[in-house]
């Protein structure tokens, strides 16, 4: 039997933050836990003791109290956590006050008119001052705890300051990325009725400066007809290019600089010595609202609790990832993706965050030049970015990259071939942390651990404190290596506190409706456990990690020809390694088409390079490769060429919508504001008509 060797081994696992935490647990509770899996099993069997220990290990600032959670309450009841705790998320982000230490670096995509734009830097001392001034300005304008503050912004220093200041007051932060269309943002903001909207005046993408004011004006026009409040509008200019024409602003809008100056004059919300008067809320107080993709309807407004976000992020970054104050942390993300929230938590460690506004692939070398220039040590991105990069760029040939120690990938499954690409063409000795979680929990179910090795195609481990398992369709526990549904068996503190509106923020009818939707979203599929909707395999235990985790795709996109279930990623892995790597196929999408009463056939859509057509020989080659590397049951019934593959705004393939459309659903089910390229769905609608004729 051939024993698979890891692609990466930690040099000193015994000194890792995870094992230091293990040692403190052993000392505190008189235990003799040895491996990561020992620690994991203890953490999910003793959730109150575990999360209390995380609080202590990570030196959370706040009044902890004595209560943690009632472990006898079923997860479906969403029990409250730390009920006598008082804590402020932003206070914990701004423990560092150094003038010398850089907190934020903002890099902007170059344009032909400005090929070397200035890089903006903000020290921890300056960041604290900006947050303090903005807190004062918001309070002077009447903002209260529980009010919503919305951002329609690019990834910039001002967006981070706004998030921190909102939390400092106990208000609720809401964010939409600047690349979202006004209709999609309206669907989000009208649900939460923001008191403020902070928006950028321009953004940079694909080496062009784009005026953002028309999109903001369209959003405000829509809100005016649907909102009970008229939000105050503040305009930010974060890019190092000339400002736009202010004459296009509407009456009442104010600039960021003027608003900040108002705050400095008022000096509200701080002590005479200048310290921010942090509004310490309950652990379960709403911190921010994130939105589901909403591709077939109005996005769900998911409310996350302040203490849960803080405690979970500290556990992930401090204990699991072992981030250090000297780290420089870039996550390529927009402000509409939960990875922006994930990245901001790095401030609590005291490291430097790198914010990037622009395209990551217009000039593929740009982000890797940044990595060398800024000594980036933690590089976060999406699996789609790595896939696109692998088609024609090898960073290791052109860049030093000696500062890199961890690379994170999420958004969709990272294929085994892309693991190979990272270690061969980016860095041979880096922790490749494929991570998975989601907007629903704004954190991770499985992911990175600096104490464990990395195996090809696998997420390293289930995260401490989250009782993640693989369940069968019948709701029973699967054995290792058996595909199933990702479920969580016990409550965890980063569960959403609910959907908006919460009690006290809406009518009884609306609150009851939100509670019903919450239960339907997570607990209706399998009684008594959190059902996440991901199709996974938990591998057999090795190296003390209790088994890695392989993502097989979304459960509602699982393929089931002839009663054999498998994830779409099993096909994607074959196509990417055998055909995308050679440039014969650019992208693909696999869905099931219903045939008869209870069966389906697999349809594989492929996007080819411009000017190329799907020949019979390529069709046969695809099917032969799938048969050889998977099985005869995996072979698609049809391979069909299309001009484009649909993606959400967060770069996820839209399998479920396409499946519904080719099976006869009308295009009216689509919410186009949530897709990056909704126009291409007409192709699938037309193909669906022809496919159903042949069934």
CA separation for the pair 233, 255 (Å, rounded): 9
End-to-end CA distance of the chain: 45
Q: Is 207 helix (H, G, I), strand (E, B) or coil?
A: coil
CB 468 within 8 A of CB 43: no
CA distances from 78 to 308, 496, 523 (A): 12, 8, 10
SS (HEC) of 136-169: HHHHHCCCCCCCEEEEEECCCHHHHHHHHHHHHH
How is residue 163 written in tokens? 């998030």
CA separation for the pair 465, 443 (Å, rounded): 12
CA separation for the pair 568, 591 (Å, rounded): 8
What is the helix (H) or strand (E) element at residue 553, kind and residue range?
strand 549-554
- When comparing pLDDT for 292 and 401, which is higher? 401
**pLDDT tens-digit map of 458-485:** 999 999 999 999 999 889 999 999 999 9
List the one residue out of 293, 320, 277 whose CA is nearest residue 466. Answer: 320
List the one residue out of 377, 337, 338, 336 whose CA is nearest residue 354. Answer: 377
What is the pLDDT averaged over residues 382-397?
A: 92
**Residue 263: what are its φ and ψ, rounded to 5°?**
-65, -40
Q: Is 31 helix (H, G, I), strand (E, B) or coil?
A: coil
* Lowest mean pLDDT, pick from 322-331, 389-398, 622-631: 622-631
CA separation for the pair 576, 580 (Å, rounded): 4
Quote the DSSP letter at residue 428: T
List the one residue out of 239, 276, 340, 365 whose CA is nearest residue 90. Answer: 276
**Cβ neighbours, 10 Å, residue 570:** 22
CA separation for the pair 320, 448 (Å, rounded): 7
What is the pLDDT averaged over residues 541-567?
A: 81
Confidence of residue 669 (pLDDT cuts 50, 70, 90): confident
CA separation for the pair 623, 24 (Å, rounded): 54
Helices 17-29 and 47-57: crossing angle in degrees, nearest 10, is 120
Contacts (Cβ under 8 Å, ≥6 apart) of 624: none
CB 494 within 8 A of CB 443: yes
CB 467 within 8 A of CB 488: yes
List the one residue out of 562, 533, 484, 524 whose CA is nearest residue 655. Answer: 533
pLDDT at 589 over 90: yes
**pLDDT tens-digit map of 489-509:** 999 999 999 999 999 999 999
Q: Is 199 helix (H, G, I), strand (E, B) or coil?
A: strand
Confidence of residue 566 (pLDDT cuts 50, 70, 90): confident
pLDDT at 1: 40
- When comparing pLDDT for 135 and 272, which is higher? 135
Q: Is 671 helix (H, G, I), strand (E, B) or coil?
A: coil
pLDDT at 295: 62
SS (HEC) of 574-625: HHHHHHHCCCCCCEEEEEEEEECCCEEEEEEEEECCCCCCCCHHHHHHHHHH
Contacts (Cβ under 8 Å, ≥6 apart) of 480: 538, 539, 540, 541, 547
Calculate the dihedral angle through the C-alpha atoms of 219, 224, 230, 235, rounding to the nearest 10 degrees.
20
List the one residue out of 12, 206, 72 whose CA is nearest residue 490. Answer: 72
**pLDDT tens-digit map of 375-385:** 999 999 999 89
What is the pLDDT averaged over residues 357-386?
A: 95
**pLDDT tens-digit map of 224-242:** 988 777 999 999 999 998 8
Burial of 381 (C-beta count, 10 Å sphere; 0-12/13-18/19+): buried
Contacts (Cβ under 8 Å, ≥6 apart) of 565: 483, 535, 558, 559
Confidence of residue 559 (pLDDT cuts 50, 70, 90): confident
Q: Cis peptide leading into 501, omega within 30 of 0?
A: yes
List the one residue out of 309, 340, 328 whose CA is nearest residue 155. Answer: 340
CB 209 within 8 A of CB 198: no
Quote the DSSP letter at residue 71: T
What is the pLDDT averaged over residues 194-213?
A: 95
pLDDT at 87 over 80: yes
Q: Is 105 helix (H, G, I), strand (E, B) or coil?
A: strand
- When comparing pLDDT for 227 and 251, which is higher? 251
CB 174 within 8 A of CB 639: no
CB 459 within 8 A of CB 539: no
Confidence of residue 431 (pLDDT cuts 50, 70, 90): very high
pLDDT at 183: 86
**Cβ neighbours, 10 Å, residue 676:** 15
How is residue 492 written in tokens? 């965890």
**Dihedral-angle region of residue 375 (phi above 0 means left; psi in -120 to 50 means alpha; beta otherwise):** left
How does the average pLDDT of the chain come out, rounded?
Answer: 93
List the one residue out of 306, 319, 243, 246 whose CA is nearest residue 278. Answer: 306
CA separation for the pair 288, 13 (Å, rounded): 35
pLDDT at 582: 87
Contacts (Cβ under 8 Å, ≥6 apart) of 553: 413, 534, 535, 567, 568, 569, 655
**Residue entry with tokens 């009010």:** 147
Handedness of CA 490, 548, 404, 356 (dihedral sign): negative
**Dihedral-angle region of residue 153 (phi above 0 means left; psi in -120 to 50 means alpha; beta otherwise):** beta
List helix spans (H) across 227-332: 256-266, 306-314
CA separation for the pair 632, 637 (Å, rounded): 10
SS (HEC) of 435-497: CEEECCCCEEEEECCCCCCECCCCECEECCCCCEEEECCCCCECCCCCCEEEEECCCCCCCCC
CA separation for the pair 526, 8 (Å, rounded): 37
**Residue 11: what are its φ and ψ, rounded to 5°?**
-70, -30
Q: Is 69 helix (H, G, I), strand (E, B) or coil?
A: coil
pLDDT at 142: 95
Q: What radius of gyration, in Å, describes the C-alpha atoms of the chain?
A: 25
pLDDT at 565: 75
List the one residue out of 213, 159, 157 whose CA is nearest residue 182. Answer: 213
**Residue 652: what are its φ and ψ, rounded to 5°?**
-110, 135
pLDDT at 598: 65
**Residue 107: what are its φ and ψ, rounded to 5°?**
-110, 140
* Lowest mean pLDDT, pick from 229-233, 273-277, 597-601, 616-620: 597-601
Contacts (Cβ under 8 Å, ≥6 apart) of 49: 29, 68
């Amino acid at each position: 039997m051939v024993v698979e060797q890891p692609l990466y081994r930690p040099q000193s696992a015994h000194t890792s933050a995870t094992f230091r935490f293990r040692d403190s647990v052993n000392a505190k509770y008189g235990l003799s836990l040895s491996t990561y899996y020992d620690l994991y099993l203890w953490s999910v069997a003793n959730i109150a003791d575990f999360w209390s220990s995380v609080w202590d290990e990570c030196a959370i600032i706040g009044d902890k109290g004595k209560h943690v959670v009632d472990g006898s309450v079923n997860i479906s009841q969403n029990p409250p956590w730390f009920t006598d705790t008082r804590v402020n998320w932003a206070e914990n982000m701004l423990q560092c006050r150094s003038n010398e230490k850089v907190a934020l670096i903002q890099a902007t995509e170059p344009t032909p008119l400005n090929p070397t734009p200035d890089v903006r830097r903000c020290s921890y001392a300056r960041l604290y001052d900006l947050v303090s001034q903005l807190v004062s300005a918001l309070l002077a304008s009447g903002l209260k705890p529980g009010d919503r503050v919305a951002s329609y912004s690019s990834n910039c220093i001002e967006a981070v300051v706004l998030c921190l200041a909102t939390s400092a007051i106990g208000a609720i932060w809401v964010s939409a990325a600047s690349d979202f269309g006004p209709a999609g943002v309206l669907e989000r903001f009208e649900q939460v009725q923001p008191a403020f909207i902070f928006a950028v005046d321009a953004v940079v993408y694909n080496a062009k400066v784009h005026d953002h004011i028309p999109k903001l004006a369209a959003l405000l026009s829509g809100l005016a007809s649907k909102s009970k409040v008229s939000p105050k509008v503040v305009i930010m200019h974060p890019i190092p290019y000339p400002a736009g024409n202010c004459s296009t602003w509407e009456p009442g809008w104010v600039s960021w600089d003027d608003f900040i100056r108002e705050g400095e004059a008022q000096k509200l919300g701080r002590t005479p010595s200048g310290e921010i008067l942090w509004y310490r809320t309950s652990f379960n107080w709403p911190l921010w609202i994130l939105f589901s993709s909403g591709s077939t309807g109005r996005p769900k407004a998911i409310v996350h609790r302040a203490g849960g976000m803080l405690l979970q992020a500290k556990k992930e970054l401090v204990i699991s990832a072992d981030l250090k104050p000297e780290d420089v942390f870039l996550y390529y993300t927009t402000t509409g993706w939960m990875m922006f929230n994930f990245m901001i938590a790095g401030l609590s460690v005291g490291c430097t965050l790198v914010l990037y506004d622009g395209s990551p692939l217009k000039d593929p070398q740009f982000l890797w030049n940044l990595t060398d220039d800024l000594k980036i040590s933690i590089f976060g991105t999406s699996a789609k970015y790595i896939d696109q990069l692998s088609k024609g760029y090898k960073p290791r040939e052109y860049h030093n990259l000696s500062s890199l120690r961890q690379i994170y990938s999420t958004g969709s499954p990272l294929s085994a071939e892309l693991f190979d690409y990272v270690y061969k063409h980016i860095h041979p000795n880096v922790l490749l942390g494929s991570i998975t979680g989601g907007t629903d929990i704004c954190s991770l179910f499985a992911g990175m651990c600096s104490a464990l090795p990395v195996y090809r195609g696998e997420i390293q481990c289930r995260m401490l404190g989250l009782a993640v398992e693989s369940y069968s369709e019948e709701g029973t526990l699967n054995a290792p290596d058996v595909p199933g549904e990702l479920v969580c068996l016990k409550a965890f503190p980063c569960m959403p506190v609910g959907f908006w509106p919460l009690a006290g923020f809406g009518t009884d009818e609306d609150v009851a409706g939100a509670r019903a939707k919450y239960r339907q979203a997570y607990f209706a599929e399998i009684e008594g456990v959190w059902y996440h909707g991901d199709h996974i395999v938990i591998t057999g235990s090795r190296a003390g990690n209790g088994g890695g985790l392989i993502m097989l795709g979304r459960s509602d996109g699982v393929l089931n020809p002839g009663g054999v279930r498998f994830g779409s990623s099993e096909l994607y892995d074959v196509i990417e390694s055998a055909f995308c790597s050679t440039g014969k196929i650019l992208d693909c999408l696999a869905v099931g088409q219903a045939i008869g009463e209870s069966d389906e056939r697999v349809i594989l859509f492929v996007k080819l390079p411009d000017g190329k057509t799907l020949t019979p020989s390529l069709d046969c080659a695809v099917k032969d490769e799938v048969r050889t590397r998977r099985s005869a049951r995996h072979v698609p019934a049809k391979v069909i060429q299309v001009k484009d593959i649909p993606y959400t705004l967060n770069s996820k393939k839209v399998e479920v919508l396409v499946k519904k459309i080719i099976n006869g659903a009308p295009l009216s089910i689509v919410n186009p504001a949530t897709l990056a390229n909704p126009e291409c769905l007409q192709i699938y609608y037309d193909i669906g008509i022809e496919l159903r004729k042949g069934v």
